[in-house]
Chain A
Amino acid sequence: MSGTVLSQAFALVFDPYVLWVILASAAYGLFVGAVPGLTATMATALLVPVTFFMPPVPAIASIVTATAMAIFAGDIPSCLLRMPGTPASAAYTDEAYAMTKNGQGELALGAGLMFSVVGGLFGSAVLIAAAPALAEVALRFSSFEYFWLVVLGLASAVFIALANPLKGIVSLLLGLLVASVGLDNPAGFPRFTFGNAELAGGLTLIPIMIGMFAVSEILRNVAAIDRPWEMAQARIGNVFRGMWRLARRYPAPIVRGSALGTAIGALPGAGADIAAWMSYAVSKKFSKEPEKFGTGHVEGIIEAGAANNSALAGAWIPALVFGIPGDSITAIVIGVLYIKGLNPGPTMFMNNAASIYAIFLVFILANLIMLPLGWAAIKGAKQMLRAPRAILMPVILLFCVVGSFAINNSILGVVLMLAFGLIGYVMEENGFPVAPAILGMVLGAMLEEHFISSMIKAEGSLLAFFERPIAGALGAFAVLVVFVPLLRRLFRSDAN
Chain B
Amino acid sequence: MPGQKFGPALFPGLVAAGLGICGLLLVVSGARQGGPWFVPPAWIHRPQPRAGVIAVLAGLVLYILLAERIGFHIVAFVVLAYWMRTLRVSWRLALPVALIAMLAIHLAFYKALRVPLPWGLLERWAF
A187 and B7 alpha carbons, distance in the complex (Å): 7
A91 to chain B, nearest CB (A): 24
Q: Are A390 and B5 in contact (CB under 8 A)?
A: no
Q: Are A395 and B18 in contact (CB under 8 A)?
A: no
Check if A239 is an interface residue, CB within 8 A of chain B.
no
A399 and B60 alpha carbons, distance in the complex (Å): 12
A146 and B87 alpha carbons, distance in the complex (Å): 49
Query: Which positions 339-354 of chain A face chain B at CB distance < 8 Å?
Result: none
Q: Mark B15-44, 1 if CB is under 8 A from A, else 0.
A: 110110011011001000000000001010
* A429 partner residues in chain B, CB cutoff 8 A: 41
Q: Mark B41-61, 1 if CB is under 8 A from A, else 0.
A: 101001011001101110111
A144 to chain B, nearest CB (A): 15
Check if A322 is an interface residue, CB within 8 A of chain B.
no
- Chain A to chain B: the 3 pairs with minimum beta-carbon distance, closest first: A390-B87, A394-B83, A222-B52
Q: Mark A225-238, 1 if CB is under 8 A from B, else 0.
A: 11000000000000
Contacts A166-B22, A185-B8 given; does A177 touch B56 at CB 8 Å:
no
Q: Are A187 and B80 in contact (CB under 8 A)?
A: no
Mark A residues whose CB is within 8 Å of B: 49-50, 52-53, 166-167, 169-170, 173-174, 176-177, 180, 185-187, 189, 191-192, 215, 218-219, 222-226, 388-391, 393-395, 397-399, 401-402, 405-406, 409, 411, 414-415, 417-418, 422, 429, 444, 447-448, 451-452, 455-456, 460
Q: Are A402 and B53 in contact (CB under 8 A)?
A: no
Q: Mark B69-110, 1 if CB is under 8 A from A, else 0.
A: 000100010011001100111000100010001100100110
Check if B6 is an interface residue, CB within 8 A of chain A.
yes
B6 to chain A, nearest CB (A): 5
Query: Which chain A residue has the least Cβ–Cβ distance from B22?
Result: A170
Contacts A223-B52, A398-B80 given; does A418 touch B60 at CB 8 Å:
yes
Query: Which chain B residue has the least Cβ–Cβ distance from A401?
Result: B63
* A215 partner residues in chain B, CB cutoff 8 A: 56, 60
A-B contact pairs, 29 of them (CB 8 A): A52-B113, A170-B22, A176-B15, A177-B15, A180-B15, A187-B1, A187-B7, A187-B8, A215-B56, A223-B49, A224-B49, A225-B48, A226-B49, A388-B89, A391-B84, A395-B80, A397-B59, A397-B83, A398-B79, A402-B105, A402-B109, A402-B115, A402-B117, A406-B109, A406-B113, A414-B60, A414-B64, A418-B64, A455-B5
Q: Are B8 and A460 in contact (CB under 8 A)?
A: no
* A218 partner residues in chain B, CB cutoff 8 A: 56
Select which of A187, A390, A448, A456 is within 8 A of B84 by beta carbon: A390
Query: Main SS of the interface on chain B?
Result: helix
Query: Which chain B residue has the least Cβ–Cβ distance from A171?
Result: B22
Contacts A170-B19, A191-B12 given; does A451 touch B6 at CB 8 Å:
yes
A219 and B49 alpha carbons, distance in the complex (Å): 9
Contacts A180-B12, A414-B63 given; does A391 touch B89 at CB 8 Å:
yes
A177 and B15 alpha carbons, distance in the complex (Å): 7
Contacts A223-B43, A409-B116 given; does A173 touch B18 at CB 8 Å:
yes
A394 and B121 alpha carbons, distance in the complex (Å): 24
* B79 partner residues in chain A, CB cutoff 8 A: 398
A429 and B61 alpha carbons, distance in the complex (Å): 22
Mark B residues whose CB is within 8 Å of A: 1, 4-8, 11-12, 15-16, 18-19, 22-23, 25-26, 29, 41, 43, 46, 48-49, 52-53, 55-57, 59-61, 63-64, 67-68, 72, 76, 79-80, 83-84, 87-89, 93, 97, 101-102, 105, 108-109, 113-117
B63 to chain A, nearest CB (A): 6
Query: Which chain B residue has the least Cβ–Cβ distance from A178?
Result: B15
Q: A395-B97, A398-B105, A448-B11 are in contact. List 4 more A-B contacts (CB 8 A).
A: A397-B60, A398-B80, A402-B76, A402-B109
Select which of B1, B4, B48, B115 is within 8 A of A409 by beta carbon: B115
A453 and B57 alpha carbons, distance in the complex (Å): 43
* B88 partner residues in chain A, CB cutoff 8 A: 390
Contacts A219-B53, A394-B84, A411-B68 given; does A173 touch B43 at CB 8 Å:
no
Q: Are B19 and A418 in contact (CB under 8 A)?
A: no
Select which of B6, B49, B72 is within 8 A of A222 by beta carbon: B49
B94 to chain A, nearest CB (A): 8
A414 and B46 alpha carbons, distance in the complex (Å): 28
* B61 partner residues in chain A, CB cutoff 8 A: 418
Select which of A53, A174, A401, A456 is within 8 A of B4 by beta carbon: A456
Q: Are A226 and B11 in contact (CB under 8 A)?
A: no
A186 to chain B, nearest CB (A): 8
Q: Are A167 and B48 in contact (CB under 8 A)?
A: no
* B60 partner residues in chain A, CB cutoff 8 A: 215, 397, 401, 414, 417-418
A170 and B48 alpha carbons, distance in the complex (Å): 33
* B116 partner residues in chain A, CB cutoff 8 A: 409
* A405 partner residues in chain B, CB cutoff 8 A: 115, 117
A460 and B76 alpha carbons, distance in the complex (Å): 55
A399 and B83 alpha carbons, distance in the complex (Å): 14
Q: Are B23 and A170 in contact (CB under 8 A)?
A: yes
